[in-house]
């Protein structure tokens, strides 16, 4: 009797282990919705769309939990040269290990774009998702990063680098100058008559 009970228990344990070992697949539909299933995604399943305007959301080298936070609440830092608070804000993000994009404000076009974006010209400006934080405040920035779900300490892979800073308004390539028109060949009437026949210095009338 005890042997049968032990065999039955072993059989149940094997079934449970088999169930635990069953693969779970992560599927992303064309709208970016994530679902989990025991069925693998089909070979012709569309790739998940990438949000425009944010490069960090497309990175796959991040830990899964951090990828999810970046996708929901992408972080962008707006800075300018010779801006002490901008340096402090960037240092906070780097120290904390927050993936972010950086946009620099230098040209008149950049300033106008910043004015449209935030209603002011002050820097730095930090956006976390749709939330705007104007001016640097260590406690305030940390509070909003906490609320968005960013880890309090760096969890980035070794060697991770954020993309280089880019101008707020993309630089347009300079237009190439139009090629100069070739000078028209002189008409026969424009050639001095002396070139059409012998002259004292050219008695043979040789033309070049």
Q: Is the per-residue pLDDT at 129 higher than 80?
A: yes
Q: Is the per-residue pLDDT at 138 higher than 50?
A: yes
Tokens of 203: 């008695």
Q: What is the structure's pLDDT at 66? A: 94
Domain edges within the chain:
54-167
Pick from 60, 58, 61: nearest CA to 159: 61
Residues 159-198 pLDDT 10s: 888 999 999 998 766 556 666 666 665 554 454 544 455 6
What is the model's pTM?
Answer: 0.57
Which CATH number is 54-167 given?
A: 3.40.30.10
Q: Is the per-residue pLDDT at 45 higher than 90?
A: no
């Amino acid at each position: 009797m005890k042997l049968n009970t032990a065999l039955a228990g072993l059989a149940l344990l094997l079934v449970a282990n088999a169930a635990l070992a069953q693969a779970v697949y992560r599927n992303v539909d064309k709208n970016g919705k994530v679902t989990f299933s025991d069925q693998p995604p089909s070979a012709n399943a569309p790739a998940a769309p990438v949000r425009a305007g944010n490069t960090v959301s497309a990175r796959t080298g991040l830990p899964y939990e951090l990828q999810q936070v970046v996708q929901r609440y992408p972080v962008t830092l707006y800075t300018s040269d010779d801006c002490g608070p901008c340096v402090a804000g960037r240092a906070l993000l780097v120290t904390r290990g927050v993936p972010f994009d950086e946009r620099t404000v230098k040209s008149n076009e950049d300033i106008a774009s910043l004015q449209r974006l935030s209603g002011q010209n002050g820097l730095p400006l930090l956006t976390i998702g749709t939330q705007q934080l104007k001016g640097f405040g260590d406690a305030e920035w940390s509070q909003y990063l906490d609320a968005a779900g960013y880890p309090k300490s760096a969890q980035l892979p070794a060697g991770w680098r954020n993309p280089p800073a880019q101008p707020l308004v993309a630089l347009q390539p300079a237009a190439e100058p139009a090629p100069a028109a070739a000078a028209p060949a002189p008409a026969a009437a424009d050639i001095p008559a002396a070139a059409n026949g012998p002259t004292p210095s050219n008695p043979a009338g040789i033309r070049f």
